[in-house]
A and B are shown apart, each in its own frame.
Chain A
Amino acid sequence: MAPEAAPTTSPRSTTTRIRDSRSYRIFTVVNTTALLLLCAVMLYPFVMLLAQSFSSAGAISAGKVNLLPVDPNLDTYRAVANNDTFWRSYGNTVLYTLIGTSIAMVLTTTYAYVLSKKHLRGRGLLIGIAVFTMFFNGGIVPNYVLISSLGMKNTMWAVILPPALSVFNLLVMKAFFENLPTELEEAAHIDGLGWFGIFFRIVLPLSKAVIATMVLFYSVQYWNDWFAAFLYLDRTDLFPVTLYLRNLIAGASTAASEGAAASGSAVADINANIQSVTMILILVPILCVYPFVQRYFVSGVMLGSVKG
């Protein structure tokens, strides 16, 4: 991944402090306001969700809850925390994310590194195979039949393996490897390292930025995925928490909108506060990953590694 051009040319970067020009100050004000507004728009749903999760069900359905909790209480958290199904699914999600991301990283880095070598014979074909799947796929039923006949149905592998190689991520990573100076590898080669040595001791340590990014992409992908689980799993004890959540939320609204057909049958009656607590609990861990990975996004790793 090409490093983003840092805004090194801003007037502030000069050593002697000069007054910002009038137009620059206006720009800063407008810019800050716009970004703050955007930030508010993004944060509003989260804050509201948070407020709902601490409020009583009655207050939510009466439409009283906005940015602050009404009748604040921890009862809902307690109720959800005591729900075994929730924690079992939660455990599954954590497991799928950890194993899935690890496998995906191994596959993506190795495949991308190989593809980044211009002298590789059959490189075009290898890229073609990957890219082909970006544009064409068999569709849901053939995929389902495939996964079933491979014996992966109702195992965690059905959720983990099919998305373990994202072609988009692969191409980004390949481009990043292609940008690594060949001189570094040549030097390592002369010093006696083999291909694996070069890959593990030179290339990977220099690729922390892109690896961190990919780990983030993959883990978010695994964490949020419900569709694969929905397709390939029919044992509730294997369901990830996203499927549990979807049933909780979409199930409730489907029940209400199917009043015509299914009226009289048991309608899913899940209170809004339970929904929001569940959403908060699912959001928090993956939100926590961002700050840790973020520093790698601004990458200066490569600067100065080649002299002369």
Chain B
Amino acid sequence: MATAHPFPLGPTRRGFVGLTAAGLGALTLASCGTGSGSEEKVDVSTQNVGAMDEYAADMQFTATEPIQISMLWTDWPDVPVEKTWRIFEHIKELTNVELTLTHIPFSDAIEKRSLLISAGDAPTLIPLVYTGEEAAFVSSGAVVPMSDYVDRMPNFQKYVKEWDLAEMVENLRQADGKYYMTPGLQEVSVPVFSLVLRKDVFEEVAGSVPQTWEEVREALVLIKEKHPDAVPLADGFEGQSMLNYAAHAFGTKAGWGFGDGAIDGDGDDLVYAATTEQYRQLVDFFRGLVADGLLDKESFTASNDGSGAASVSEKFAAETCFAASGSSGTAIEFAQALEETVGKGNFEITLVPPPGGPAGDHVEPRNFWHGFMLSSAVTESENFLATLQFVDWLYYSPQAREMLRWGEEGTTYSKSGDGTITLEEGYSLNDFGMNKDAGEDIKIDLGYSTFPAESTESRALKESYSTPEFVQYVDDVLTTRTPRDPFPPAPLDEAELEQASLLATPIKDAVDTATLRFIMGERPMDEWDAYVAELEAAGLPQYMELLNGARARFVEANG
């Protein structure tokens, strides 16, 4: 039998060198294909095939000749996109624009989007972009600097002004002074997550729904007296949700809303939120709640993926918990759980505005919703102007917004004199429990009320599909709370971004760990200075220097 030969892995030296050279050559070639470098503003008016001459705000956009616009479409697993969806046909009828879709699965949508943009292969319209996500694509020149062209977008202009969003739009500017996405505009924006509580129990022990964290605390003490086995307050999102909305009332930021951690200092400079006195107060307050057995420790460590919330709803059902973080949807879940145990009519559960605190009745700054970017290839298209007009119509005109949410007036829905919208018979929207299971679902079967419907919303449109409880919540927040001023922007350039993310990660990890240990009582509060020193050792001064440099640059460029 022949003996086995060892793998002759070693190619000859000459062969190897040749191969390496060939490989490098291929890489160089490949890298030449993408990125068109810095963008010169193009003269849009010459690329006006299909565009309307007299296009203005609140006007129906109809391309003067049929055009096609490619669009990225995220496939939600429970809403398979159908080419036959009425929405696409309807948009075509209205605008003469045929949308051609590039599908990306929801599970890895962000990765695929990055890939398509990096490879220079992205469709024209890139939707579902949240503010901040565009930063990564700025330097490559792969996306259109929208700020150069918003003068061609009358609806955008109009509603930014009408809804008083101009300052927030200015804050979208990147290091080069331009902004690269236009966001979904919200006429009113309220915190989605706040405190969900047993209104009946709070009213019974404390007389009313608590308006400040101090009142929350007092009420929790009374509840605890009545239900000694209960730990009345919980979060269910590793504390990230509760710290987020509480931080605003304490004049700092924390949890989900921590972001880059930079916050206005006393002087002109930014300071790191987690080292401020306000942050210490916030941590100390929750530490007090834990020490008195009022705050469920388990829910502060339970995972953030939603599974933590399930156990909180079990605790609600068992009446060992009476207040927790959540959205209007969470309130419904808790109510369903309570119906099983306590019984319908024996409880009242609501989402209440985030309590006020030492810094006042502040809630989070107003927000944008997801918007879009345009792939820079469109700047060379003869349809560039028409595309700008189309996306302006689609994203910002009230008629288009209503169409994306509800479909066709007179067919799928009707509108009464006071603006109330009702679905026509034979159409349902199961997501919001409307006309359940009656004939065609306007989302699943026709494509309305899918993600494009979410972006820009007037207050009336938002209320048209919300539950009466949520409408009440919105009203409560708007009348009794003040949104904070937007956080000062400090856009970093490409090199700084990389450096900042390297520095920020260990610092943020240290903050998260220490915050939790302080709150849980595992670390004494007199170690606060030691904790600040740890952050400094982890590179906080360099990190803040980066941010403050960028901040100064931004102020100089934009005033």
Q: With both chains docked as a complex, state the minimum distance between the C-beta of B106 and any C-beta of chain A, in angstroms.
A: 4
Measured between beta carbons, the chain B residues less than 8 angstroms from A187 are none
Q: How distant is the Cα of A256 from the Cα of B238 in the complex, in angstroms? A: 13
Closest B residue by C-beta to A255: B106
Chain A contact residues, majority secondary structure: helix
| Contacts A/B (CB < 8 Å), 27 sampled | A118-B5, A124-B11, A124-B12, A125-B12, A127-B8, A144-B119, A145-B34, A145-B121, A148-B121, A175-B4, A179-B1, A182-B2, A230-B112, A231-B112, A247-B77, A247-B106, A248-B77, A251-B77, A251-B107, A252-B77, A254-B107, A257-B304, A260-B193, A264-B192, A264-B327, A268-B78, A270-B78
- Indicate if the CB atoms of A181 and B2 lie closer than 8 Å: yes
Q: Tell me whether B1 and A306 are in contact (CB under 8 A).
A: yes
Task: Identify the closest chain A residue to B455 (Cβ).
Answer: A265
Rounded to whole angstroms, the CA-CA distance of A230 and B103 in the bound complex is: 10
A284 at the interface (CB under 8 A from B): no
- Chain A residues near B19 (CB-CB < 8 A): 128-129, 132
Please, what's the 1-or-0 string for B1-18, where 1 marks a CB less than 8 Å from any CB in chain A? Answer: 110110111111001100
Q: Given B30, B103, B304, which contacts A145 in the complex, CB threshold below 8 Å? A: B30
Residues of B close to A64: CB separation below 8 A: none
What is the distance, in angstroms, from A8's C-beta to the closest C-beta of chain B?
A: 17
Interface residues of B in 82-117 (CB under 8 A from A): 102-108, 112, 115
A257 and B305 within 8 A (CB): yes
Q: How far is the CA of A231 from the CA of B115 in the complex (A)?
A: 8
**Inter-subunit contact A254/B121 (CB<8 Å):** no
Contact check, B12 vs A128: say whether CB atoms are below 8 A apart.
Answer: yes
How distant is the Cα of A103 from the Cα of B193 in the complex, in angstroms? 54
Indicate if the CB atoms of B310 and A61 lie closer than 8 Å: yes
Does B33 touch A at the CB level, under 8 Å?
A: yes
Q: Is A235 an interface residue (CB 8 A)?
A: yes
CB distance from A307 to the nearest CB of B (A): 12
Structural contact, A148 and B119, CB atoms closer than 8 A = yes
Known A-B contacts A138-B26, A140-B115, A236-B80; the reply to A251 vs B106 at CB < 8 A is: yes
Which 7 A-B residue pairings sit nearest by Cβ, starting from the closest? A128-B11, A256-B306, A250-B107, A260-B256, A247-B105, A142-B30, A125-B15
Q: Are B305 and A253 within 8 A (Cβ)?
A: yes
User: Closest B-chain residue to A269, C-beta based?
Assistant: B78
Q: Does B272 contact A (CB under 8 A)?
A: no
Residues in B neighbouring A118, C-beta threshold 8 A: 5
Give chain A residues whose Cβ lies under 8 Å from the Cβ of B31. 142
Q: Are A127 and B9 in contact (CB under 8 A)?
A: yes
The answer, yes or no, to whether A141 is at the interface (CB within 8 Å) is yes
Q: Considering the chains assembled together, what is the distance between the CA atoms of A131 and B9 in angstroms?
A: 7
**CB 8 Å contact bits of A256-287 with B (1 = contact, 0 = none):** 11011111111011100000000000000000
Could you say which of B4, B78, B106, B256 contacts A254, with CB atoms under 8 Å apart? Answer: B106
Asked whether A243 is an interface residue with its Cβ less than 8 Å from the other chain, the reply is: yes
Min CB distance B416 to A, Å, is 26
Query: A230–B327 Cα gap in the complex (Å)?
Result: 33
Q: How far is the CA of A178 from the CA of B3 in the complex (A)?
A: 9
* Interchain CB contact under 8 A, B450 and A266: yes
Query: In chain B, what residue has the closest Cβ to A246?
Result: B107
A135 to chain B, nearest CB (A): 10
Report yes or no: B107 in contact with A266, Cβ–Cβ below 8 A.
no
Find out whether the CB atom of A142 lies under 8 angstroms from the CB atom of B2. no
Given the interface pairs A124-B11, A248-B77, A266-B451, the reply to whether A230 lies near B105 with Cβ below 8 Å is yes
Q: Does A2 contact B (CB under 8 A)?
A: yes
Contacting A181 at CB < 8 Å: which of B1, B115, B306? B1
Contacts of B240 in A (CB 8 A): 260
Interface centre among A246, A257, A263 (most CB of B within 10 A): A263
Judge whether A141 and B12 touch: CB under 8 Å. Answer: no
B306 touches A178 (CB 8 A): no
A92 interface residue per 8 A CB criterion = no
Q: Which of B230-276 contact A (CB under 8 A)?
A: 237, 240-241, 244, 256-257
On whether A247 and B4 interact (CB within 8 A), knowing A138-B30, A140-B115, the answer reads: no
Q: Is A299 at the interface (CB under 8 A from chain B)?
A: no
With A144-B115, A230-B112 given, name 18 new contacts (CB 8 A). Answer: A61-B310, A118-B5, A124-B10, A125-B11, A128-B19, A131-B11, A132-B11, A141-B118, A142-B31, A144-B121, A179-B1, A180-B2, A246-B105, A250-B108, A251-B77, A265-B454, A266-B450, A306-B1
> Which of A149, A231, A235 has the most chain B CB atoms inside 10 A of its CB?
A231
Is the beta-carbon distance between B327 and A263 smaller than 8 angstroms? yes
- Judged by a CB distance under 8 angstroms, whether A146 is at the interface is yes
Partner of A263, one of B107, B121, B192: B192
Q: A260-B256, A263-B192 are in contact. Are A251 and B105 (CB under 8 A)?
A: yes
Does B530 touch A at the CB level, under 8 Å? no
Q: What is the CB-to-nearest-CB distance from A139 to chain B, in angstroms, rounded to a whole number?
A: 9
Q: Which residue of B is nearest A229, CB measured?
A: B105
Bound-complex Cα distance A1 to B193 (A): 60
Cα of A124 to Cα of B13 in the assembled complex, Å? 10
Q: Contacts A146-B30, A259-B193, A264-B192: A132 and B12 contacting too (C-beta < 8 A)?
A: no
**Closest chain A residue to B26, Cβ basis:** A138
CB contacts (< 8 Å) of A260 on chain B: these are 193, 240-241, 244, 256-257
Interface residues of B in 136-179 (CB under 8 A from A): none
Contact across chains for B107 and A247 when beta carbons are under 8 A apart? yes
* A251, B111: Cα distance in complex, Å: 13
Chain B, Cβ-Cβ closest to A116? B5
Q: Quick check: is A292 within 8 A (CB to CB) of the other chain?
A: no
Residues in A with CB closer than 8 Å to B79 are 266
| Smallest beta-carbon distance B229→chain A, Å | 22
- Specify which of B10, B12, B30, B31 lies most central, judged by the most chain A CB atoms within 10 Å of its CB: B30
Chain A residues lying within 8 Å of B107, measured Cβ to Cβ, are: 246-247, 249-251, 254
Looking at the assembled complex, report how far the CB atom of B83 sits from the nearest CB atom of chain A, in whole angstroms: 9
In the bound complex, CA of A128 to CA of B395 (Å): 54
Contact digits for B445-481, partner A, Cβ 8 Å, 1 yes 0 no: 0000011001000000000000000000000000000
Cβ-closest chain A residue relative to B132: A261
Chain A residue nearest to B133 in the complex (CB): A261
Given contacts A141-B118, A148-B121, contact A268 B80 (CB under 8 A): no
| CB of B449, distance to nearest CB on chain A (Å) | 8
Task: Assess whether B115 is in contact with A251, with CB atoms less than 8 Å apart.
Answer: no
Q: Write out the residue numbers on chain A whose beta carbons fall within 8 Å of the beta carbon of B76.
A: 251, 266, 268
- With a CB–CB cut-off of 8 A, which chain A residues contact B2? 178-182
Q: Is B106 in contact with A268, judged by CB distance below 8 angstroms?
A: yes
* CA distance in complex: A296, B446 (Å): 53
Complex Cα spacing A288 to B293, Å: 55
Which residues from B are CB-within-8-Å of A251?
A: 76-77, 105-107
Rounded to whole Å, the gap between the CB of B14 and the closest CB of chain A is 9
B75 interface contact, C-beta 8 A: yes
A166 contacts the other chain (CB 8 A):
no
Query: Contact between A138 and B27 (Cβ–Cβ < 8 Å)?
Result: yes
Does the CB pair A127–B11 fall under 8 Å? yes
List of B residues within 8 angstroms of A171 by Cβ = 7
A124 and B15 contacting across the interface, CB-CB below 8 Å: yes
B27 partner residues in chain A, CB cutoff 8 A: 138, 142
CA distance A61 to B307 in the complex (A): 10
Q: Which of B10, B104, B192, B431 is close to A234, meaning CB atoms less than 8 Å apart?
A: B104
Measured CA separation A231–B480 after assembly (Å):
49
Any chain A CB within 8 A of the CB of B23?
yes
Q: Return the chain B residue nearest A85 by Cβ.
A: B80
Interface flag for A136 (CB, 8 Å) = yes
Q: A85 contacts which chain B residues (CB < 8 A)?
A: 80
- Least CB distance from B283 to A in Å reads 20
| B305→A141 contact, CB < 8 A | no
From the candidates B8, B78, B454, name the one contacting A124 in the complex (CB within 8 A): B8
Which residues of B sit under 8 angstroms from A181, Cβ to Cβ? 1-2
